[in-house]
Amino acid sequence: MKHYDLFVIGAGSGGVRAARMAAATGAKVAVAEDRYMGGTCVNVGCVPKKLYVYASEYRHQIQDAAGFGWQVQAPTHDWSALVEAKKQEIARLNGIYNRMLDGAEVTVYNARASILSANQVQVGDEVISADKILVATGGWPFMPEIPGIEHTVSSNEIFDLEVFPQRILIVGGGYVAVEFAGIFNGLGARTTLSYRGDRFLKNFDEEIVEALAHEMTQSGIEIALNDYPTAFEKQADGSIRVDFKHASSAEYDAVLMATGRVPNVNGLGLDALGVEMGRNNAIKVNSGYQTNVPSIFALGDVVEDSWQLTPVATSEAMVFVRRWFGSESDAQMDYRDIPTAIFSQPNIGTVGLIEREAREQGIEIDVYVSNFKAMRHTLSGRDERTLMKLLVRRSDQRVIGCQMLGPDAGEIVQGLAVAIKAGATKDDFDATVGIHPTAAEEFVTMRSVTR
């Protein structure tokens, strides 16, 4: 029987990082992956999504160019060319991941793995033993039980539709739904976003989300709140008839169910082993990513209350290795002030607390808000506005929250996240010289408290 110091199930961002770093300490490591080398992010998540966002933004940029004197004919888009270019890029990244693991002398099993006992896994027809088993299988799209759901697609399949949909319904209120609404609207589809609640992106700042909803509507996206589909029916012409709880039925060429993600744990054998599970079968772990079965660990999206962000999973993997294969037996992940972005159109960037959270925690804050039309749009003619917010704790003037809605918000907030993580005060922001003319300089020139 083959034996490893660490056996990782799942070759996504967290699993690959854990395997490589553990192997670098001299440990004998293996990884099993039966689907995507590189996981969700590389194959059906962050990477292809961002490429499609870029593609969809060109339509707006071409339209903007007329205001700067460019004479541009009405653009047309080749969906199949974008899909093929995306496939080539992902194949390149898959190869990079394989080479990284090979270079780290990590054994790769391209097969499904399941856990037989506390120290044994089955990979295909082979049984393998390991001192430690790490589950890093990530999340999987949740598809609700609605009649005709088989006629819809999830975020796994949406990138590879054979025909570009002229009419698309996107069901959901999270970042996946919002981002794909922008993508398909930008590429020219008549786009409807349907959400059962009264506000999408409910975990983000209300003021920012309200402004985004306005911009999305201005760009042509129909937003239908407080409603949800009750049935899907394929029509003779290939379209999909959708019945709603409240609104009238309508037909679409494609329906994307962006209704959340759940831990990908089916078939792993965790129940039989007695591994403690939480909501939606997420795995419960301690601060060292150890389950109640001491030899079994888990990190990333498969863990209860996870952040579901690629950089968080890779950071957790580093903590895991430092703690269990290094000399830092008390290493822990710091989950405070984690920045993130939504690649909506326009983008959202955020780090630290949002206004509602600060007030719920009883923190006395000063809120600084800047709302303006970006310099580009003084000539483009596009009626799009940028919104920026800073939350300052009144007791010590420390900046505890920062949000932005506007172009390149993720790029800008990433830099500010360093300052906020380091404990910068409003005086530090005020003393920083801005780069002019940029949108980002607004963050260091806001002087008057808004509320």
Same domain, 291 and 221: no
Give the model's confidence band at 60: pLDDT under 50 very low, under 70 low, under 90 confident, else very high.
very high
| pLDDT value, residue 70 | 96
- Judged against a pLDDT cut of 90, whether residue 27 lies above it is answered with yes
Split at pLDDT 50, 70, 90, the class of 244 is very high
* Tokens 């950071």 sit on residue: 315
Q: What is the C-alpha separation between 427 and 285, in angstroms, rounded? A: 40
In a domain, 172, yes or no: yes
* Alpha-carbon separation of residue 378 from 88, 133, 283, 346 (angstroms): 38, 57, 51, 17
274 and 137 in a single domain? The answer is yes
Q: Are strands 399-405 and 348-352 parallel, antiparallel or unpaired?
A: antiparallel
- pLDDT higher than 90, residue 384: yes
Q: Render pLDDT for 116-132 as a digit per residue (tens, 0 to 9).
A: 999 999 999 999 999 99
450 assigned to some structural domain: no
Q: Which residues are catalytic?
A: 436
* Pair 158, 40: CB distance under 8 Å: no
> For residue 332, is it within any domain?
no
**Could you give the number of structural domains in the chain?**
3
State the CATH number of the domain containing residue 165. Answer: 3.50.50.60
Written as six digits, the tokens of 293 are 């079965």
Quick check: is 224 in a domain? yes
Residue where one domain finishes, among candidates 218, 243, 259:
259
Asked whether residue 178 is domain-assigned, the answer is: yes
Determine, yes or no, domain membership for 333.
Answer: no
Could you give phi then psi for residue 166, rounded to 5 degrees? Answer: -75, -25
Confidence (pLDDT) at 234: 98
From 211, 234, 259, give the residue that closes a domain.
259
Same domain, 400 and 308: no
Q: State the average pLDDT over residues 413-442.
A: 98
Same-domain status, 97 and 122: yes
Residues 294 and 314 both lie in one domain: yes
Q: How confident is the model at residue 74 (pLDDT cuts 50, 70, 90)?
A: confident
What is the mean predicted confidence (pLDDT) over 153-178?
Answer: 98
92 and 113 housed in the same domain: yes
Q: What single-letter DSSP state applies at residue 442?
A: G
Residue 354 belongs to a domain with what CATH number?
3.30.390.30
Same domain, 162 and 87: no
Note whether 278 and 391 are same-domain residues: no
Q: Which two tokens stand for residue 55?
A: 């593609």
Q: Is residue 8 part of a domain?
A: yes
Structure tokens at 136: 């890093």
90's tokens: 């992902």
The b/e string for 261-289 (b: 16+ C-beta within 10 A; e otherwise) is bbbbbeebbbeebebebeeebbbebeebb
Q: How confident is the model at residue 352 (pLDDT cuts 50, 70, 90)?
A: very high
Q: Which of 277, 294, 324 is the last residue of a domain?
A: 324
CA angle 11–14–16, rounded 5-degree value: 45
> Which pLDDT belongs to residue 315?
98
Asked if residue 128 and residue 7 are part of one domain, the reply reads: yes
Domain check: are 137 and 46 in the same one? yes
Contacts 24+ apart (CB under 8 A), 415-423: 415/440, 416/339, 416/351, 416/443, 417/337, 417/339, 417/351, 420/337, 420/351, 420/352, 421/336, 421/337, 423/398
pLDDT > 90 fraction of the chain, expressed in percent and rounded: 98
Q: What is the mean pLDDT of residues 62-82?
A: 95
Q: Do 39 and 113 fall into the same domain? A: yes
Residues 6+ apart with CB under 8 A from 312: 300, 306, 333, 335, 338
Does one domain contain both 111 and 193? no
Closest of 406, 395, 390, 405 to residue 355, by C-alpha:
390
Query: Residue 338's pLDDT is what?
Result: 98
Strands 126-135 and 120-123: antiparallel
| Domain membership flag for residue 44 | yes
Average pLDDT of the segment spanning 144-154: 98
Q: Environment class of residue 243 by beta-carbon count within 10 Å: exposed (0-12), middle (13-18) or buried (19+)?
A: middle
Please give the pLDDT value at position 66.
Answer: 95
Cis ω for the linkage preceding 141 (within 30 of 0):
no
User: pLDDT tens, 392-427?
Assistant: 999 999 999 999 999 999 999 999 999 999 999 999
Q: What is the mean pLDDT of the chain?
A: 97
Cis amide leading into 437 (omega within 30) = yes
Q: How far apart are CA 256 and CA 155, in angstroms?
A: 7
Range of the domain at 368: 340-444
